[in-house]
Structure 1
Amino acid sequence: MIHAIRVHETGGPDVMKWEEVEIGDPGAGEARVRHTAIGLNFIDTYFRSGLYPAPAGMPFTPGNEGAGVVTAVGEGVTNVSPGDRVAYVGPLGSYAEERLVPADRLVIIPEGVDDKTAAGMMLKGMTARYLLRKTYTVTPETTLLFHAAAGGVGLIVGQWAAKLGATVIGTVGSAEKAELARANGYTHVINYRTENFVDRVREITDGKLCDVVYDSVGKDTYPGSLDCLRPLGLWVSFGQSSGPITDFNLALLGPKGSLFATRPTLFTYIASRADLEETANDLFEVVRSGDVKIQVNQEYALKDAVTAHEDLQGRKTTGTTVLVP
């Protein structure tokens, strides 16, 4: 028996319970992984609250990413072996001391990347990669706006986009977070609690506005995000930390400049093994080179996941957070 966080009914952080569970031996195509670190992400709160339904129903174990050591493999598994250090994103169920994972979702952690860094960067880092290199191809000519610049994805995007030569504008909610964003690649930082971000974007860009806006905030930044885009610009809505957008009007895109809008998810961009390997390898490379530094700013014991969720939703965290079994 091992311990895991289990959710029997959706709701606030306190619905998560620390329980003993049996996971058994790996089946065909599976590997058993003993976690050394587990990533905490805002999407975890969506499944816990019921905003996103758990694919396998109730009860379930939250968590989308982790790192650890392979302890056993099932029939037909050739890409990993017992003793390998591995990391992964998905499927749901990482808030556990050990678990079974489809082996084709595992990637080997290279030398020079520690387990906590790997656990905390897979979802956020691969999200940054697809946003900057696939959803919109960022170049030195790009001016972009990224909401929640001091968050886990935001700090990675700031560094990576700066390395690509872009003009990087970010929004934050405090003076402390503004300093953090500036230290991580942001050319301009807007404190949305004291400034109107639409007006400031106009000022910063001399009225030219942005090529692309990356928006994981949702309700509080809509439709303002659309007003930060130049004609034919792209609005990338990839989260909803302030709540879902319930009144999206497709017709708005026309008069606001024939804008484009997309709602991407990482899991589409890494659905194939080849895409997963390409995305992970790009991420590992920029981290190993030092171009992107992953800041693990908070650690919680796995059994204290309730506190971790409370702090995450209370905007008390910055950068990357990991849970340690």
Structure 2
Amino acid sequence: MARIVRFHAKGGPDVLKLEEIEAPPPGAGEVAVALKAIGVNRAESMFRGGPYVEDPVFPARLGYEGAGLVTATGPGVTGFAPGDAVSLIPPLSITRWGSYGDTANFPADFLVKHPKNLSWVEAAAIWMQYVTAYGALVEIAKLAKGEFALITAASSSVGLAAIQVANAIGATPIAVTRTNAKKAALLDAGAAHVIASQEEDLPQRVQAVTAGKGARVAFDPVAGPALEQLAAGMAEGGIIIEYGALSPEPTPLPLFPLLVKNLSIRGYQYKEVVRNAASRERATRFILDGLAAGTLKPIIDRTFPLEQIVEAHRYLESNQQFGKIVVTV
């Protein structure tokens, strides 16, 4: 029997239940993995509580990331064998291939033999954050050396990954956070500048640090009324990439900055990168190269055992973390 985290109705962290169920064998194109660690993501709490871009099918599994050992392979799978250490690039369905548990089946195309120098905790913490940041900044925005990138929710795992990706390219990351409480940590993590959006005038600060040019790229999971402030800090012809909806408030269109600066506002999901084999391969190579070179290194905030999955989600939603939350199995 496998220990699997499931939920039977939408709600807060308490709806998550660790249940014993019979684990099915891997299907065609799938690999069975005995999990050692699981990355925890904000998207999973939104899927659990709603609204989210995918609806759960009850009883629902959840979880986008994991790392562990291959135990079996399904029909048609080549390149993997029992005993291989692998980690999971987030697949296209959170409920179809949920990773919360001690074992799971995953599509072979989304598994990677990660670098041997990574711990299980680190291996479970790399793919969602770096694929998301890479896809937005490199594949879509074409961020280049010498350009400025505004990165909001900068202390999240994806925000910190975006800082590292921008630095790896030679761009200048400007971290945006609500208060100055995490300023020193963000500077230590590679941010060139930090703006506390609740304590400073964001557009004025952006203009100051960019010598009046503004930022060509903004990477934002918050939206809401703050979108107008982001737009005011953008450069002519800039692009704002929205990859989340953390703000509970409506998101008004910043029409005049949009018109005056010829801005683009672009919705984005990591799935744009991983559903296409060529872009998924480019992302994988960029990330593996960055991990090997040391330009990319996951920042782990805290770990929880699988038995404390409810507490892990409560901590996630407290917004206290700086970096990645990982569950160990």
Taking structure 1 as the reference length, the TM-score comes to 0.94
Instruction: From 135, 157, 162, give the equivalent of 1:157.
Output: 162
Q: 1:53 to 1:130 in 2, by over 3 A?
A: closer
Do residues 313 (structure 1) and 317 (structure 2) align? yes
- Please state how far the C-alpha of 1:213 moved relative to its aligned partner: 0.8
Question: 2:253 maps to which residue?
Answer: 249
In the alignment, which residue of structure 2 is the partner of 1:216?
A: 221
The amino acid that maps onto 1:158 is I
Partners of 1:86 and 1:106 within 8 A in 2: yes
CA contact (8 A) 2:145 2:171 kept: yes
Select between 215-224 and 304-313 the one with higher mean Cα deviation: 215-224
Note if contact 1:3-1:96 (Cα within 8 Å) is conserved in structure 2.
yes
Distance 2:17 2:228 in 1: 38
Letter of the 1:210 partner, please give it.
Answer: A
Corresponding residue for residue 8 of structure 2: 8
Give the counterpart of 2:296 among 292, 297, 300: 292
Unpaired runs of 5+ in structure 2? none
Q: CA separation in 2, counterparts of 1:172 and 1:219?
A: 15
| Equivalent pair of 1:311/1:317 in contact (CA under 8 Å) | yes
Give the equivalent residue in structure 2 for 1:230.
Answer: 235
**Pairwise CA distance, 1:106:** 1.2
**Match for residue 322 of structure 1 among 310, 317, 326:** 326
Conserved 8 A contact 1:215-1:221: no
Contact 2:228 2:253 in 1 (8 A): no
Distance 2:104 2:61 in 1: 10
Equivalent residues of 2:154, 2:176 under 8 A apart: yes
* Aligned-pair CA distance for 1:301: 1.1
* Aligned-partner SS, 2:322: coil
**What is the CA deviation profile of residues 117-153 of structure 1, one whole-angstrom value per residue up to 9, with x for unaligned ones?**
1111110011121122111122223111110112111
1:191 maps to 196
Equivalent of 1:103 in 82, 100, 108? 108
Q: Measure, in 2, the Cα distance between the counterparts of 1:206 and 1:75.
A: 58
Question: Quick one: which amino acid aligns to residue 291 of structure 2?
Answer: V
**Mapping of residues 120-131 of structure 1, within 5 Å:** 120-131=125-136
The one-letter amino acid paired with 1:80 is: F
Query: Equivalent residue of 2:261, what SS?
Result: coil
Residue 84 of structure 1 deviates from its aligned partner by 1.0
User: What code does the residue aligned with 2:264 have?
Assistant: F
Partners of 1:230 and 1:175 in 2: CA distance: 25
**1:76-155 maps to which residues of 2 (within 5 A)?**
76-88=76-88, 89-90=90-91, 91-92=93-94, 93-155=98-160
Q: Deviations over 1:262-311 (max 9, x none)?
A: 11111111113333232122112111211122111210112212111111
Distance (Å, rounded) in 2 between the aligned partners of 1:85 and 1:220: 44
Query: Which 5+ residue runs of structure 1 have no aligned equivalent?
Result: none
1:258–1:276: structure 2 CA closer, same or farther, 3 Å change rule? same
After superposition, residues 166-181 of structure 1 pair within 5 angstroms as 166-181=171-186
Distance in structure 2 (CA, Å) of the matches to 1:193 and 1:177? 13
Instruction: Name the structure 1 match of 2:69.
Output: 69
Distance in 1 between residues matched to 2:56 and 2:175, nearest whole Å = 37
Deviation string 1:67-126 (CA, Å, 9 cap, x unpaired) is: 111100111111322111111112421111101111122111122222211111110011
Q: Which residue of 2 aligns with 1:280?
A: 284
For the Cα contact (< 8 Å) 1:158–1:181, is it kept in 2? no
Cα distance, 1:193 vs structure 2:
2.8
Q: How many pairs were matched up?
A: 324
1:250 Cα deviation (Å)?
7.8
SS in structure 2 opposite 1:26?
coil
Separation in 1 of the partners of 2:295 and 2:137? 15
Query: Which one is further off, 39-48 or 273-282?
Result: 273-282
1:107–1:277 Cα contact (<8 Å) kept: no
Deviation at 1:254, TM superposition (A): 4.1
Q: Is the 8 A contact 2:219 2:243 kept in 1?
A: yes
Deviation at 1:252, TM superposition (A): 4.9
Are the counterparts in 1 of residues 144 and 170 from structure 2 also a CA contact under 8 Å? yes
